[in-house]
Structure 1
Amino acid sequence: MSALPSSTANPSIDIGELRRDYSRQMLLESNVESDPFLQFQHWFAQALEAQVIEPNAMTLATVTPEGRPAARIVLLKGFDERGFVFYSNFQSRKGREIAQNPAAALVFWWGELERQVRIEGSITLVSETEADAYFQSRPRGSQLGAWVSDQSQAIADRSILEERLQHLEQDYRGASIPRPPHWGGYRVAPIYFEFWQGRSNRLHDRLCYRHATASDPAWKVERLSP
């Protein structure tokens, strides 16, 4: 493989030497909640307080029909003891993958706090009532965008989107915009949580929550080696 031209890389930077030692906080079994949803709520509140950029941004990983992982960033729009909710086009690539294999992993990275949260679970659709309510809460431009975009489909150029938007703006002028039938919400119901706190010398704190047995609703907290 040929080397990248010098014009595309800074020769003074050695990527292998890029590192940061974490030392802000610690994560101990004695100071976490026994319920992982409460622990997430606690950390999420701290991320908001720390003014983390897009604290609700999360990596969503799904699986292709061929068994290959696929990941992208989506926005968390709500969470409770039932799971973590995001919205998307059902006909998008992730929507098609979820329809074939309703399992997913989520990752939150809050660099300002040197923290990461990993969640694994199964996916179900939110109710139409819940999806309708959230859709109506969106800005009008975002509502129109859900109709304009055939998400993940190839298009010739951006002008196609802009023309569709102009037409829809005229069609719905002065009228409410209904939720598209191909657009709605997904809920990830966790079976596994991992809370990660950066520590010095790469000896990070990792605490995971999982059920002791498949039939036991109680969560068990375990420390993982970094």
Structure 2
Amino acid sequence: VMRSVGTKRLACIGCDSTGNTKLGRELVEIEVATVLLVPDPNHYLSNTCRDICKIEYFTDAIGKMRTTTTYFSHSAYSATRLKALRVIIQVNKGLEKIGKMRFGTMYWASYALLRCLPGISELISTGIIENFELELQQLCNILEPIARAIKCLEGLETTVGDIWKFYVAITAVLHDLFKDNTLSIPLAVQEEVCVIVNRRYDEMIHGPSGNLFLSGFFLDP
């Protein structure tokens, strides 16, 4: 396909890092030395979200979130009552399912659940809701800059310089979040998140693309 178009017309190729696509990318690099390799930033950011969600501290909150969203998706009676309560408390959108194919799905699901939590708390006893809400808010705030960066990088006019810019923005937002720590995120959790984000940053920014993203940011007029 590349030869039919003309390799001189192609500046770069982008893909995720699954086995088949990674091998294809490496073969193209050997065959066409002039083509730049651009890893898919959204896959790396989505994997960052996934790694953060594996932190043991968030296990309980994520488990309850899965149970809650599943329950309301299977109970028409409860879903109808929640929908009626949302009208009263002026919450326009309802819960969102955790999808396997959506980037940053844990953030969007937790954000939707937090939005509906006041209504849900009216339907159940409030004795177990406080700790769950705090842990869910902590998870949501940590994932938010990553999920919103994915949303922005899916734009049609995204440049390679934007990728570096958003990665730096993510680290800056997390730095401020941990520094202020108004949500009392445990230090051990902060350290785990930093290790994950820094590792994914190195894999993406210092990976097969070399200094492409930093150069693109520097050269962007």
Q: TM-score range by the shorter chain?
A: under 0.3
The structure with the largest helix share of the pair is 2
TM-score norm. by structure 2 comes to 0.25
Give the TM-score of the pair, scaled to structure 1: 0.24
Larger fraction in strand: 1
